[in-house]
């Protein structure tokens, strides 16, 4: 399973990705989690099982949700509080709920 986080440049989500990986490891969940810049969405739609967007790019929601819908990939904006506190557990749960 591959979870992709997209943000403005792919850097602000890197700490969150690391925290999500730790939670996944502790739960014995086999998952690949990556952060990429939002401009890579077309490439990421080919390999991701779910895409989460950083709250700072919510202004692109309509465009990105349409692309994900066409590719049949679940997509959502990361909970703002979880993003701000880098709550890896909550964001991982958000991604897993979208897949199921």
Q: Which residues are catalytic?
A: 7
Map 61-86 to HEC letters. Answer: HHHHHHHHHHHCCCEEECCHHHHHCC
Burial class (CB in 10 A: 0-12, 13-18, 19+), 72: exposed
Do 55 and 17 touch, CB atoms closer than 8 A? no
Element (H, E) at 33: strand 32-37
């Amino acid at each position: 399973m591959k979870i992709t986080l997209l943000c403005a440049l792919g850097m602000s989500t890197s700490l969150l990705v690391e925290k999500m990986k730790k939670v996944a490891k502790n739960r014995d969940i086999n998952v690949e989690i990556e952060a990429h810049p939002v401009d890579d969405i077309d490439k990421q739609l080919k390999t991701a099982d779910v895409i989460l967007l950083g709250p700072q790019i919510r202004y692109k929601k309509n465009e990105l949700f349409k692309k994900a819908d066409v590719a049949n990939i679940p997509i959502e904006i990361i909970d703002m509080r979880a993003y701000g506190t880098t709550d890896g557990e909550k964001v991982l749960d958000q991604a897993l709920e979208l897949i199921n």
